[in-house]
Amino acid sequence: MSTPRKSNRPLRPPTKKPTEQGRHQPRQGGRRDAPDEFVDEDRRPAMRPDAHKSALGTPEGMTLEGPGRERRRGPAQNGPATFTEPERLQKVLAQAGVASRREIEELVVAGRISVNGLPAALGQKIGPGDRVKLNGKLIPLRFVQRTPRVLIYHKPEGEIVSRDDPEGRPTVFERLPVLRKGRWLAVGRLDFNTSGLLLFTSDGDLANKLMHPRYEIDRQYAVRLLGELTEEQARQLVDGVVLDDGPARFNSLQAAGGEGVNHWYHVTLSEGRNREVRRMFEAIGLTVSRLIRVRYGPVELPSRLKRGMWMEMPEVEVCKLAGLPPPPPKQGPPGKAQPPKLRRTAPRA
């Protein structure tokens, strides 16, 4: 491996601080210091896309909010997420112009390079969140942003969110496009008899941030009940009920109309335990006859996306969801932005 030619030119323009002058000048030996009225086919009330943002104004309408919980819509509010593959320390530092890979290996063996305050090791991989120092001085590093892919899928009833099923039932993964590299990861689950919004991503880090309880990302559901929910029962659900796996509560509950024995409600909660919405209503003696997820964090189920169809989230929206900087504008003549295409994939055998 050839050694890079030495140069007296600094790696970056010197700053105004005197202490920064010549910081990147070559040292002896060539080494350098570097510093996110639903309409039923039966008879359902209409659900506007922004229905979760306003209360019902009718006297018989019911709107309850949980006390004092801050609403979180995605991981971007909890600090930006970075999606890059970890790379070997020698490669990253060589690309930053610190020294050649061979020289960096010598620096590592000599204990002159540290990662997050600990001595670096040969072959160690680092990412954007790591702090690398040479002789105690922080090295500024740059990583290439990789925008993950996200699919929005309208899951119908009668599909399971699993890759394999001993009973041979249809799975949601049979409906998705094939990835050339990696695989689709489901963001949360919907049970066999629940339909609605289901997100998939190609990036495990983003999937974890969207699902982790620490972020308390809210989910909204349209719920059809057999029977009428009293105001006392609704308050009980917002204040909290005790389930087999611990207490549970809705962040908000809104009446959404209905007639006869079927009544619709919109509920939000910030976790995704198994059959949690159904079990909460069962705890107060009511049965859920239809359950549809209509929103996950900031992502709403598009009204034009029919059951069994999927669409890919635009890169700009993915960056907003993940807390990444917006992508650079695409080259070409300006034109009217086209909406994402809706697709339906035939189940694979």
Active-site entry in 191, 203, 239, 245: 191
Comparing CA positions, the residue from 321, 278, 280 lying closest to residue 297 is 321
- Mean pLDDT computed over 44-54: 42
The residue among 56, 36, 40 whose CA lies nearest residue 266 is 56
Unique residue bearing structure tokens 């941030």: 209
Tokens of 184: 């689709």
Q: Which segments of the chain does DSSP mark as H helices, in order?
A: 89-95, 101-109, 204-211, 231-239, 276-283, 315-322
Q: How far apart are CA 291 and CA 222, in angstroms?
A: 6
Strands 287-296 and 262-269 turn out to be unpaired
Whole-prediction pTM: 0.66
Is 164 tagged catalytic? no
- How far apart CA 193 and CA 287 sit, in angstroms, is 13
CATH of domain 51-77+147-310: 3.30.2350.10
- Residue 235's pLDDT is 95
**What is the reported pLDDT for 334?**
63
pLDDT at 54 over 60: no
Total Cβ atoms within 10 A of residue 339:
9
Higher-confidence position of 214 and 310? 310
Locus of tokens 């909660």: 269
| Percentage helix, strand, coil for the chain under 3-state DSSP, each rounded to 5 | 20, 25, 55
Question: What average pLDDT score do residues 306-313 get?
Answer: 96
How does pLDDT run across 5-25, given as a tens digit for each residue?
Answer: 544 555 555 454 444 444 444
